[in-house]
Structure 1
Amino acid sequence: MEVVMPQSTVIESGAAVATLINVFTVRPERQRELADCLTAATDEVMRHVPGFVSANIHTSDDGERVVNYAQWESAADFQRMLQDPGAREHMDRAAAIADGFEPRLYTVDSVHHR
């Protein structure tokens, strides 16, 4: 049996991945609920969907934003995930908690290190 090692989030220009950055706006008293919802969605559904590479959930210090930085093997894989009933259920729940959200696919243009 082949052992598949989990992939980590690697941010590099020219990487052959589709990068999703979804910025959610949320009332501070619901930020934790939204972050927990996105974490559960990732653990329970997203990471099992073909093409998933990684996801990282970020919470802003002011309590008003939650950002999902995720990588998919391709934009087509991301689009197929949007049609998955289990994924849709979790996305609808997150949307109900948030005041708004702006999902966009990105290409890493450049990376800088100290």
Structure 2
Amino acid sequence: MAPTSIDATDDVVTLVNVFTVTPETQQRLVELLGRATEEVMRHRPGFVSANIHAGLDGTRVANYAQWRSVEDFRAALEDPVVREHIDEITTFATADPQLYRVVSTHHA
């Protein structure tokens, strides 16, 4: 799998999903998201990449994922296997998923 590339000229849609967890469940969510991405999400049509970030205070996990289109992302959400993972996550974490497009990048 190619590394994530963030470029305003790429024709992708970006999911930024910030989860709220307890410090005791942060690692569980990180592991679940990693497993779900590796075993399920990356095999769905339109998937480009995913990056999982653990908040330093232990109460947040952010998933930055790229998809070829909004339609591909929404179709993945309708997949029963994907829904199983989402349902498990919602038993101990709250999510705030939002879709974005990259409009600007800056580098040193």
> What is the TM-score of this pair, normalised by structure 1?
0.91
* Structure-1 residue corresponding to 2:27: 32
Aligned residues of 1:52 and 1:71 also touching (Cα < 8 A): yes
* Structure-1 residue corresponding to 2:80: 85
What code does the residue aligned with 2:92 have?
I
Deviation string, structure 1 residues 55-95 (Cα, Å, up to 9, x no partner):
00000110010000000011110010010011110111112
* Structure-1 residue corresponding to 2:89: 94
Matched, 1:59 2:85: no
The answer for unaligned runs of 5 or more in structure 1 is 1-5
The answer for unaligned runs of 5 or more in structure 2 is none
Q: Percent identity?
A: 54
* Structure-2 residue corresponding to 1:105: 99
Higher Cα radius of gyration: 1
- SS in structure 2 opposite 1:28? coil
What code does the residue aligned with 1:106 have?
Y
Aligned residues of 1:8 and 1:53 also touching (Cα < 8 A): no
Matched, 1:8 2:3: yes
**Number of aligned pairs?**
108
Give 1:8 deviation, angstroms: 2.3
> What is the TM-score of this pair, normalised by structure 2?
0.96
* Structure-2 residue corresponding to 1:42: 37
- SS in structure 2 opposite 1:24? strand
Matched, 1:23 2:36: no
